[in-house]
Structure 1
Amino acid sequence: MSSPSQRPPKAPRGRLGTGRVASHVAVMAAVAVVMGVLTACLAIPFAGLAGVAAKDVSEGMVNLPESLEAKDLSQKTRIYDVNGNLIASLYDQNRINVPLGSISRPMVKAIVAIEDYRFYDHGALDLKGTLRAFITNQANGGAVQGGSSITQQMVKQTLLYQAETDEEKAAATEETYARKIRELRYAIAFEKNHTKDWILERYLNIAYFGDGAFGVQAAAVHFFSKNANDLNLLEAATLAGLVKNPVGYDPIDNPERAESRRNVVLDRLAQLGVLSEKKADRLKGTPIKKTLKVKASPNGCQQSSAPFFCDYVVNWLLKDPVLGDTVKERRRTLNNGGLQIHTTIDLDMQKAADQAVSDGVNPTDQAIGGLAMVEPGSGDVRALSQSRPMGKDKAAGQTYLNYTVPKAYGDANGFQAGSTFKAFVLASAINQGIPLSTTISAPQTIHLDDDEFETCDGPYAGDGKGWDPENSTGAGTYNLYTGTQESVNTFFAQLETQTGMCEPLELADAMGVDVPVAQQVPSWILGVSDADPLTMAQAYATFAARGLHCDPRPVTEVLDSSGNTLKDFAPTCEQVMPGATADAVNDILRGVMEGGFGAPLAIDKPSAGKTGTTNSNMAVWFVGYTPELATASMVAGANEFGEWVTLNGQTVGDSYISSAFGSTVAGPIWGQAMAAVSSKLDYVDFTTPPGDEIAGVLTTVPDVTGMSPEEATQTITSAGFTAADGGQVNSEATAGSVASSSPDAGAQLSSGDTVTFYTSTGYVPPSNGGKGKGRGGKGRG
């Protein structure tokens, strides 16, 4: 604004000049006379600014500080998804600070015109305005109002904003001359130490514009769905008119009064020559309702598109000292620090999780459904969803408890995870060299003495009664493949006597699953400890990542209000088992999806999984994964009193459950969610476990017919077998190519077993006078 038609003339923007200081002294003297205050007393604190010796003028004014510290303004914190989309805001005051250069010129013109049109010409005090207001106040019985410069208004707002006690708040708003004098003293200090532009910028950022919007940027977004830099003259006039009475002129609740006030601002702009009267009249003819495009300013996690993920992020960050030394300081930083929090959530996956959970379990069911998605190899948390929405209306099934995460982050105790814990014993058995083809006779029930289970400190010392596990799947003889895929309790109880309890418990701990000491009993492998979907998803992600365990990571980076990195959160990962061990677990658990309990849930990508069902069917689980995504689904019985109940006989998600199992109740939720996100996943297969490292791996014999001996050898070896050339057989196949193999293609063998291939002679000897047809086979040529 370089001319009167652009903005009122302004004074130099450096420190306060001698002329302006002298003007302040003269003004204060004049005001003091009019107010009946001793001129010397009132002028004294400011006379020093004009060069008078401080020792001659400071007495009697010791209660007026020389300056006011302008603390940083609170700003709302914004939480973003993995693609940079806003998912939540946190704030005590809805404010986003912007520099003056990011505020439109019409907005600057409008606020100066209506609030202090000589702002750039006078010092901290507008003498004409103050005297005029004083005379008016005297005529109205001595009330103190009006006449304040923008600098004085900024001081008042600063005092109110920085007030920490009720007394300080009252002092910042009291209608007394003492407050005016105090504000003027601070205003002069600000004018001395800062430029006019700095003062105007702070004023526009601290001012309240109504309906919860603090500062011009938040107001522009809220009322017009645009940034402050894009405000036009009509919108700027509306906002400039609000600061006088944000409630009374609220354009949403009081559109008529707001429009009238806006027109006052337009008339003032025309009067000052900022715009023509003709243009002002034309703008005034626009109804204010037509200019509004109100955008809600959600605050907190409850209004987020991912409320329980947001809640997890907040509680996770509240434990990080980078935001402050205490939880109170960290919460203040979160709500007022203007942080930019970049998270790992994928809203497509979150939407899929929400839909699957809501389809499976209703909010008011006597059950709770939960689901978590975690990326193997990074620990990035992609989605968290539960059936009970966030809120306080218990009749509607709402809750503030986050059942999808550990208690430290969600205040819920979790649920027994059932047979999903068997995977820790399975992995330990493989790691100890127990062949996958090992068979164990597993009767319907079995008794095992306490001392048959070895702990880290020796034989388990229980109560002497031992353990009597029982199957829900029948009896039989099983190997590590079939015993796991059918989740046979008495099989795993005996397998635990071979592995001992020590290594499986240590492995569970390394994979992020805590088993309390009191629950470290032989039956722990049946999932008697409480867990949550996030814990189980990140644990099974370890198998998907070939033994690399990564702690759950909901946040990747936190930036401060200036966009500088406050902290980077790198993945926290550790190799907790050999890759070959994890490969073998994956090979076994993929069988659950390819012919076991999980077969109806299989998606169009290679996947593996494990079911879990607790005693009395009070909680059921399905934890499944691909090499790129691990997902845990859970449904637990819970009545309106918060008591755990059986799912049997319940109607959950509009379906009656006669007997609940992980594959039939939790599994379909997993399957629906994973099918919905499958298109986001690459087709990546699991690594075949190497037969030279994992004994007894069962692998399908590949079809090598028609190949050259060299190609057949390579194919058989790549599948994990030992290739052997069995020589030639008579066959119609091309001479020199493979005619057949033993075992035949499709058979199951352990890794390292021998597959023999036979090459064709290309000749079939005649039979019965040379009229018979030859046959391919394994006969020697």
Structure 2
Amino acid sequence: MPSSPERPHGRPQTGRIASHLAVMGAVAVVMGVLTACLAIPFAGLVGVAAKDVSKGMVNLPESLEAKDLSQKTRIYDVNGNLIASLYDQNRINVPLSQISRPMVKAIVAIEDYRYYDHGALDLKGTLRAFITNQANGGSVQGGSSITQQMVKQTLLYQAETEEERKAATEETYARKIRELRYAIAFEKNHTKDWILERYLNIAYFGDGAFGVQSAARHFFSKNAKDLNLLEAATLAGLVKNPVGYDPIDNPERAESRRNVVLDRLAQLGVLTEKKAERLKKRPIAKTLQIETAPNGCQQSQAPFFCDYVVNWLLKDPVLGDTVKERRRTLNNGGLIIKTTVDLDMQKAADQSVASHVFPTDQAIGGLAMVEPGTGDVRALAQSRPMGKDKAAGQTYLNYVVPKKYGDANGFQAGSTFKAFVLASAINQGIPLSTSISSPQTMHFDDSDFQTCDGPYAGDGNGWDPQNSTGYGTYNLYTGTQNSVNTFFAQLETRTGMCEPLALAKAMGVDVPQAQQVPSWILGVSDVDPLTMAQAYATFAARGLHCDPRPVTAVLDSDGQPLKEFGPQCEQVMPGATADAVNDILRGVMEGGFGSALQIDKPSAGKTGTTNDGRSVWFVGYTPKLAAAAMIAGANGEGQWLELEGQNIGGRYIYSASGSGFAGPVWGDAMSAIQDEIPYEDFQRPAGDEIAGVLTGVPDVSGQTVEAATSQLEAAGFVVADGGEVNSSTGQGLVASTSPEPGTSLSSGDTVTLYTSTGYVPPAGGGKGKGGGKGKGRGGRG
């Protein structure tokens, strides 16, 4: 809150004492008492010397530090929509210029109508309170100026102990002396407008609303600058007794109090009596438009994303040196937090998860969406709502993020880990066309697998993987698309374990040392959907890995940046390697296990199913959005269960599979937002960089030899000259190729070009132009 220029400091102490005594003396004349502007009867001063009273005032601190008022923190989505608020007190500070004039007039009229005419103390008001106090047996109440009230509110707000809170509210002359001394200092150091502004921001208006802006939003769904006279009178009447005059719980009392304010405004000439009477006839209930102010993540439109944001920021020292300090800053600092969540994507994720896994099912469903190239987290959804009602399936555990942000351990990801071995094989130059005979079962010795330190030293029993998707001879395309276990076990013996594990870590999946065993490629490690989504987003971004980013900026209460969070990205594999992985994994969507999940944008993906059937996965992506869906068997007590034999989302599971159960979670969510996903195709892997790329031979007929050669070589093929053939194609242009267009070949394979003679022999024979070269290959074109 901006402050006005301070008045000069440095008045000599004797001058200050004289000033205070002069004020006290003036009040003593008016009231016949010996204290500093206080309604103290003579009987209360027996044995007390005036010099002791004045000395007590002078010995108080020179002034009271007015600490910043707590304000609620607001969290916004990527498009600027409010998704959550965090606060200890529901307050948003506003400058006096952003408070309507009717509101200012109403509060001054009812609380201190001579506010701008007197100093720290209103002598008339104090005298009136003195007379009232004597009539009531000497109680100490009333007569406080707005400045004194602001001091009292400040002392109460800044009290850190029960003793300080009691001292700020006790009905004693000592409190009055204290408040007056501080009020004098505030009047000396600040303008009247500054004091009134702080008063309107610190005051409690009832029903959880602190400050005039929050009160205006809560009771009338508008900003303080837009309050009209009737609304202003209502709020001005509340500060005297926010609970007793609460217009929601006590509308009759609130209306009566509002009318008192209107009468006061009429007496002071702010409005005519006729207008006041007309306004008083308006029932208070018809003026209210209640707006709730949810506090915390539970009522957010994206509760578990909000929870992730909070826990993510609690680890950032920009908000404080300790977690306790950071939490206090989050709840009281009035921060503006700009996040990456997209509410349209969040809604699609929520609806898809909710339709496939019910809250009380003996399973947990989750979905995370991440933008490739930035790491921006677009949505986080899970089947169990946020809350403490276990019977309703509620939980506070965030199952879709890493444990350090959500307290859940994660789930085994099955064959989704095979992509790390696939990428390492490609990076090592293993041709994509490499054929490997893969029987139903195989035995491997521990020493068949190389670690970074040499042969793997296991328990000596080796590993006996078996397939669940068939057997036969496969290359890197078909072995991946069919997710063949014995194929990948053999591929791992060729790549070794060192590079794939290092690549997985670089992509955000850190496999614990104890789980770095040959079978790790079957996803024996626990991970979460966000981790898998950001890992596969690396392929979509052509090898650029970006850490998940839920927040782009944190601003202070004045809108000034505290910290901006840029993308944290690193190229962890060559773009060509990622292109090759994408080319293979798009086959999963174009005829493989994910064919039923296709959307109208180019996409790729990988299924995952654990051997024990306790969790199923599908991780899919376009060049612009990656998403990981998961369903895992679990009860409310943290015990993991098999999915088979259960009813999940209203469906009985006979056989658990990633494509059959997690896949539809992914597919429904992506289908709902596919119009928002920009169209972009994957880049074809370059045949001259990736060995064994399977590519269809392009149709180059009719092109010049130079142009055709360039196009074929760009596709990774070796070009050979097949000579001339008779053809109606123009002389010297390409008439045909061998193999013919559309044939799938590996990069490095040869494509033969045949050029046209430009001549077609007449029917019935005769030697064609060019001496009949290429007999048996003519007639094309």
What secondary structure, in the 3-state scheme, does the structure 1 residue paired with 2:465 have? coil
Amino acid at match of 1:29: A
Partner of 1:51: none
Q: In structure 1, what is the Cα distance between the partners aligned to 2:619 and 2:257?
A: 61
Give distance in 2, aligned partners of 1:205 and 1:15. 26
Determine whether 1:303 maps to 2:299. Answer: yes
The corresponding residue for 1:341 is: 337
Alignment of 1:697-712 (within 5 A): 697-712=693-708
What CA distance in whole angstroms lies between the structure 2 residues aligned with 1:39 and 1:70?
A: 35
| Unmatched 5+ stretches in structure 2 | 35-39, 767-771
| Residues in 2 aligned to 1:754 and 1:231: alpha-carbon distance in whole angstroms | 80
In the alignment, which residue of structure 2 is the partner of 1:127? 123
1:32-64 deviation digits (Å, cap 9, x = unpaired): 444234499686589xxxxxxxxxx53x55874
Higher alpha-carbon deviation: 364-373 or 727-736: 727-736
Q: Find the counterpart in structure 1 of residue 566 from structure 2.
A: 570
Cα distance per residue 1:711-746 (max 9 Å; x no partner): 433443343333444333334556555443222222
1:592 to 566, 588, 591: 588
TM normalised by structure 1 equals: 0.93
> In structure 2, what residue type is equivalent to 1:26?
G
Task: Supply the AA of the counterpart residue of 1:357.
Answer: V
1:253-292 matched pairs, under 5 angstroms? 253-292=249-288
Please tell me the residue identity of whatever aligns with 1:124.
Answer: A
Quickly say closer, same or farther: Cα 1:382–1:126, change in 2 above 3 A.
same
Structure 1 counterpart of 2:211, which letter? G
- Residues 1:61 and 1:205: Cα distance change in structure 2 (over 3 Å): closer
Does the CA-based 8 Å contact 1:15-1:191 persist in structure 2?
no
Question: Quick one: structure 1 residues 630 and 776, their matched pair in 2 at CA, closer, same or farther if it must change by over 3 Å?
Answer: farther
User: Are the counterparts in 2 of residues 593 and 607 from structure 1 also a CA contact under 8 Å?
Assistant: yes
CA distance in 2, matches of 1:623, 1:290: 53
Between the aligned partners of 2:695 and 2:73, the Cα distance in structure 1 is 53
2:313 counterpart (289, 311, 317):
317
Q: 1:286 to 1:747 in 2, by over 3 A?
A: same
Indicate how the Cα distance of structure 1 residues 41 and 191 shifts in structure 2: closer, same or farther if over 3 A, else same: farther
Q: Distance in 2 between matches of 1:249 and 1:669?
A: 51
For residues 211-261 of structure 1, the C-alpha deviation after alignment (integer angstroms, 9 at most, x for no partner) is 111000111111111111111111111110110111111112222211111
Q: Deviations over 1:528-558 (max 9, x none)?
A: 0000000000001111111111110100010
Matched, 1:35 2:45: no
Corresponding letter in the other structure for 2:256: S
Equivalents in 1 of 2:52, 2:159: separation in Å? Answer: 24
Relative to structure 1, the CA distance from residue 15 to residue 273 in structure 2 (aligned partners, 3 Å threshold; closer, same or farther) is farther
In structure 1, how many angstroms separate the alpha carbons of the residues matched to 2:757 and 2:481? 43
Partner residue of 1:523?
519
Whether 2:24 is the aligned partner of 1:25: answer yes
From 605, 619, 625, the equivalent of 1:629 is 625
Give how far 1:369 is off.
0.6
Percent of aligned pairs sharing the same letter: 79
RMSD over equivalenced CA pairs, Å: 2.4
- Aligned twin of 2:723: 727
- Encode CA deviations 1:306-364: one digit per residue, 9 max, x unaligned: 00000000000000000000000000000000000001111111111111111111111
TM-score (norm 2): 0.93
Q: Helix, strand or coil for the counterpart of 1:617?
A: coil
Instruction: Write the mapping of 1:407-486 to structure 2, written as runs, cut at 5 A.
Output: 407-486=403-482
1:304-703 correspondence runs (5 A):
304-703=300-699
* Runs of 5+ unmatched residues, structure 1: 1-11, 47-56
Kindly indicate whether the alpha-carbon contact (under 8 Å) linking 2:732 and 2:755 is maintained by their aligned counterparts in 1. yes
> Hey, what's the Cα distance between the residues in 1 that align with 2:605 and 2:181?
72
Write the letter of the residue equivalent to 1:132.
R
Instruction: Show the counterpart of 2:244.
Output: 248
Question: Counterpart amino acid of 2:307?
Answer: D
Bigger drift between 756-765 and 221-230 goes to: 756-765
SS at match of 2:298: helix
Q: Residues 723, 124 of structure 1: CA spacing in aligned structure 2 closer, same or farther, 3 A cutoff?
A: same
* Aligned equivalents of 1:377, 1:276: Cα separation in 2: 65
> Following the alignment from structure 1 to structure 2, what is the Cα–Cα distance between the partners of residues 157 and 243?
11
Query: 2:296 & 2:52 partners in 1: Cα distance?
Result: 46
Match of 2:140 in 1: 144
CA spacing shift, 1:44–1:556, aligned 2, 3 Å? farther
- Once the 2 structures are TM-superposed, how far is the Cα of residue 703 of structure 1 from its aligned partner? 2.7
1:52 aligns to what? none
SS at match of 2:672: helix
**Deviations 1:84-134 (CA, angstroms, capped at 9, x unpaired):** 111110000000001111111111000000000011111111122122222
Deviates more, 1:635-644 or 1:400-409: 635-644
1:94-173 counterparts in 2 under 5 A? 94-173=90-169
CA distance in 2, matches of 1:555, 1:105: 38
Kindly provide the amino acid, as one letter, of the partner of residue 35 in structure 1. P
Asked if 1:204 is matched to 2:200, the reply is yes
Provide the rounded CA distance (Å) in 2 between the counterparts of 1:756 and 1:685.
29
AA aligned to 1:318 is: L
Range that drifts further, 544-553 or 19-28: 19-28
Deviates more, 1:33-42 or 1:642-651: 33-42
Report the Cα distance in structure 1 between the residues aligned to 2:146 and 2:392, rounded to whole angstroms: 50
CA distance in 1, matches of 2:206, 2:576: 63
Pick closer, same or farther for the CA change 1:738–1:43 going to 2, 3 Å: farther
- Provide closer, same or farther for how the CA distance between residues 699 and 43 of structure 1 changes in structure 2, counting only shifts above 3 A: farther
- Contact 1:29–1:40 under 8 Å retained in 2: no
Count the aligned residue pairs. Answer: 756
- Partners of 2:765 and 2:69 in 1: how far apart? 105
Deviates more, 1:664-673 or 1:727-736: 727-736
Q: Deviations over 1:669-715 (max 9, x none)?
A: 11111112211122211111112221111112223344454543344
Q: Is 1:28–1:43's contact at 8 Å kept on the other side of the alignment?
A: no
> Which letter maps to 2:641?
V
1:123, 1:188 within 8 Å by CA — same for their partners in 2? yes
Q: How does 1:166-185 map to 2 (within 5 A)?
A: 166-185=162-181
2:224 pairs with one of 223, 228, 232: 228
